[in-house]
Amino acid sequence: MRASHDLSRVVVSADDASLVADAGLLLPALLGQRLGLPDLLDQRVTGGPHPAEKCLTVLHSAMAGGDCIDDVDALRAGATQAVLGHRVAAPSTVGTFLRSLGWGHARQLDAVSRELLARAADIGAIEASSTDPFVLDIDATLVETYGLAKRGGAQVMRTGRRGYHPILAVAAGTGDVLHARLRRGRSNDASGAPAFVTETISRVRAAGVAGSMVLRADTGFYLADVLGACTRAKVGFSIGARMIGRMRALIADLDESAWTPVPYFEPGAAVAEIGWLAFDAQQRKGKGWRGNGTWVRLIVRRTPTPPGLRNPDQQALFPTFEYHPFITDQPGDPVALDRFHRAHAEVELAIRDLKYGLALNHLPTKSFAGNHAWLVLQTIAHNLGRWTARLGELAATPRQTIKTLRRRVLAVPARLARHARRLVLRLPQLWPWADQLTAALTRLRALPGPAG
């Protein structure tokens, strides 16, 4: 090996103030300006001075790969602030800001995210005028915490670990997060779900979606009040049903002719439909019986019991199955509706992106309201990444992950220079996605600014 290739001879110095580590952050920062996000944060959030600078610091740090408060310091290196459009707050400032927030301040951030959805729909980032139903996927997730000082997160969850139990609403097909709410770790899946569903539907309507909507959820949200919230808002539903009581007996008594075979890697998988009176025995303590139930379509998918849980010698003569029922009010063939309902699983892709692509894998402060604010900021960062890729035509798929966007675009290094009274970003020669970045920048610059 030649001496010039000996890596031990490389000299390292940190003395160039013109370098930018994550120059591609210019794209989501520009989109945020086009949506009026900085002004929106300053106008709506009253938690101390300069809330926009502190919130945007958290947003851009998460998009650059930072997953804790200390990581925001990386944005203060070199000339990175020049591509962000705001002063980067120090980690201590961000921590103090989050800890100082009350629940009212956290709800102010909810109002910001609601308005941002409407503005994004106005510039075409969200398809609000499609003739197809707009599908909402509701799900809950567990965010593990460490230590006993976090308010709402000190109790042991059903997993045997401590943490929080947030609930999220995601747009099917695109993965945009429509709403999020932090809850204490010991919360049931459906705790606060009816009000959350009502608020989510209101947000989507405010964003301009006037057509039909369908809510999809798993068995954790099989609740009369959730169904009532959908009915009052004239929103369709496809909700996993708990197979308890007479439902189990009714499914077991189905004749073999009632089942329609469906493709599966083992024989015996099928779908059947039953008319079902849901929630006809709901009782409130001290208030007697409530309502007479609601007639719905009960669709059941059966699959052979997994090999590890069955007797292989008996399966051929006496097959056993697992059953997966759900209720819906949607028209159509039961097999197609079963396929539609199982697509609810795509909500996990957005949750994965929030946890492992951004900074929702933990919640950093002792304050419950501060952690809710952190949650909302992560959802805004997630949406900005999706909208940047969509409007800039950077996305290879509708649900391109933030990790892919970061590797190809956001994390590009650059040198900031001045020429003819203008700032110039000089990207590395032969960067594979340089043309896509510059084309996306042109498209984002052509977007209209916020009204007023």
Q: In this predicted model, what pLDDT tens digit does every residue of 199-232 receive, in sequence order?
A: 999 999 999 999 999 999 999 999 999 999 999 9
pLDDT band at 444 (very low <50, low <70, confident <90, very high): very high
Task: Take residue 399 and report the two structure tokens written for it.
Answer: 């649900």
**CB within 8 Å of 421: residues ≥ 6 apart:** none
Q: Please report, rounded to a whole number, the percentage of residues in the chain having pLDDT higher than 90.
A: 73
pLDDT at 310 over 80: no
Residue 319 pLDDT: 64
**387 part of a folded domain:** yes
Residue 244 pLDDT: 81
pLDDT at 65 over 80: yes
Mean residue pLDDT across the chain: 90
Residue 424: give the domain boundaries.
13-131+365-452
**230 part of a folded domain:** no
Write out pLDDT tens, residues 364-378: 999 999 999 999 999
**271 part of a folded domain:** no
What's the whole-number mean pLDDT along residues 87-98? 96
> Where does 283-430 show beta strands of DSSP type E?
283-284, 288-289, 294-304, 321-328, 414-419, 422-426
74: DSSP letter: G
Write out pLDDT tens, residues 273-306: 999 988 876 544 444 444 557 889 999 999 988 7
pLDDT band at 312 (very low <50, low <70, confident <90, very high): low
Per the structure, how many domains does the chain have?
A: 1
**59 part of a folded domain:** yes
297: DSSP letter: E
In 344-430, which residue ranges form alpha helices assigned H by DSSP? 347-352, 368-391, 402-405
What's the whole-number mean pLDDT along residues 304-311? 68
Whether this prediction's pTM lies above 0.75 is answered by yes
Q: Which of 89-98, 152-161, 239-248, 411-420 has the least mean pLDDT?
A: 152-161
What's the whole-number mean pLDDT along residues 232-249? 92
CB 443 within 8 A of CB 395: no
pLDDT at 317 over 90: no
Cα separations (Å) of 299 from 189, 253, 321, 340? Answer: 22, 15, 15, 12
**359 part of a folded domain:** no
